[in-house]
């Protein structure tokens, strides 16, 4: 479940004609398990999204034809997105904080994507494009403190980094703003995005849709079949999808199908080929054992990454490519 988000870059940008406030630790809040706060910083706001998309900059921004700003290079991570807003100790400088995060991320195995540490290289254009890209489109953006055009935009420090995990990609963005009239200290906006499978059982392809797909295209993608990463056991939340498959097969007694497993291109090809076949075999076995479908009507095959539905260049595409299909023989 999403928690209300009050902070992020808007808070880091905010300043106005007010007396400096004293930061108060958010009750019950904890740092991200991957990367901690700068020593002595106060966590004043935090939030998470169980499954969302975050695009991480891997280069500076540029103007495009319609006058908008976008990143020249970026990577996209789909999964959990956690965000934190800290007020640093008054004596800590933005450059000190930036270098501390860079060192910690390097030690944790992250590779740098992009960093800027001065007004000449980390300017308002870049940060504005980041705000538009990551923050404004999200439902919780309206809850943050509205920016008021602070000149601290031009004095911010920024970095993004990523590393591979068992589940895919993990990315970190750190945005550090210099002291303003709200906080008499530097502020740190931290975003951590980690690839994760979406909770299963939310969507299934009905028996009627399966029949229509088989007749129109000769195949149907089975969105409601779920497996743990690297495993071939069909998860319990796949029950409704298996039932729909069985109904479609019962409706046409002469129908024979291939059950075809697919993977993304991550890891060794031979291992992916074996995994895709084992998953197809597990689905076929479940149809026989749990739904009484005759074995002769099913043929399990593995295609590994031979037939992608999308590019494997980012996690969003790889997630689409990890699938099982029912193909008419």
Binned at pLDDT 50, 70 and 90, residue 143 comes out as very low
Per-residue confidence (pLDDT) for residue 158, from 0 to 100 = 86
Binned at pLDDT 50, 70 and 90, residue 67 comes out as low
% of residues, the chain, pLDDT over 70:
77
Residue 69 has pLDDT above 60, yes or no: no
Q: How far apart are CA 301 and CA 234, in angstroms?
A: 16
Of residues 264 and 117, more confidence is placed in: 264
CA distances from 187 to 85, 138, 217, 268, 301 (A): 7, 21, 54, 43, 54
- Going along the chain from its start, the domains and CATH numbers come out as 8-195 (no CATH), 207-328 (3.30.1330.60)
Q: How far apart are CA 230 and CA 284, in angstroms?
A: 18
Report DSSP letters for 37-91, one per residue: PPTT-EEEEEEEEEEEEEEEESS-EEE-TTS-EEESSEEEEEEEEEEEEEE--TT
Residue 186 has pLDDT above 60, yes or no: yes
Per-residue confidence (pLDDT) for residue 48, from 0 to 100 = 79
Contact 56, 316 (CB under 8 A): no
């Amino acid at each position: 479940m999403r928690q209300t988000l009050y902070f992020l870059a808007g808070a880091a940008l905010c300043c106005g004609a007010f007396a400096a406030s004293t930061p108060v630790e958010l009750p019950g809040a904890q740092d991200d398990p991957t990367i901690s706060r700068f020593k002595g910083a106060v966590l004043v706001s935090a939030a998470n999204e169980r499954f969302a998309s975050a695009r991480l900059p891997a280069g500076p921004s540029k103007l495009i034809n319609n006058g908008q700003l976008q990143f020249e290079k970026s990577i996209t991570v789909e999964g959990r997105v956690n965000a934190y807003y800290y007020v640093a100790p008054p004596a800590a400088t933005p450059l000190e904080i930036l270098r501390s995060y860079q060192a910690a991320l390097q030690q944790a195995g992250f590779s740098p994507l992009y960093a800027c540490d001065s007004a000449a290289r980390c300017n308002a254009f870049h940060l504005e494009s980041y705000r538009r890209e990551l923050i404004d489109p999200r439902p919780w953006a309206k809850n943050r403190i509205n920016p008021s055009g602070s000149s601290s935009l031009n004095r911010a420090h920024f970095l993004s980094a990523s590393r591979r995990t068992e589940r895919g990609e993990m990315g970190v963005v750190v945005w550090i703003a210099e002291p303003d009239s709200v906080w008499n200290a530097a502020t740190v906006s931290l975003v951590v995005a980690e690839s994760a499978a979406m909770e299963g059982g939310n969507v299934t392809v009905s028996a009627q849709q399966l029949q229509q797909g088989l007749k129109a295209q000769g195949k149907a993608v089975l969105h409601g079949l779920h497996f743990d990463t690297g495993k071939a056991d069909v998860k319990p939340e796949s029950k409704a999808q298996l039932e729909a498959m069985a109904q479609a097969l019962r409706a046409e007694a002469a129908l024979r199908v291939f059950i075809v497993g697919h993977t993304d291109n991550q890891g060794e090809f031979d291992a992916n080929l074996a995994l895709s076949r084992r998953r197809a075999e597990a689905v076929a076995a479940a149809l026989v054992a749990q739904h009484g479908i005759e074995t002769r009507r099913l043929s399990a095959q593995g295609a590994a990454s031979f037939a992608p539905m999308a590019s494997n260049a980012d996690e969003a595409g790889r997630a689409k490519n990890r699938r099982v299909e029912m193909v008419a023989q």
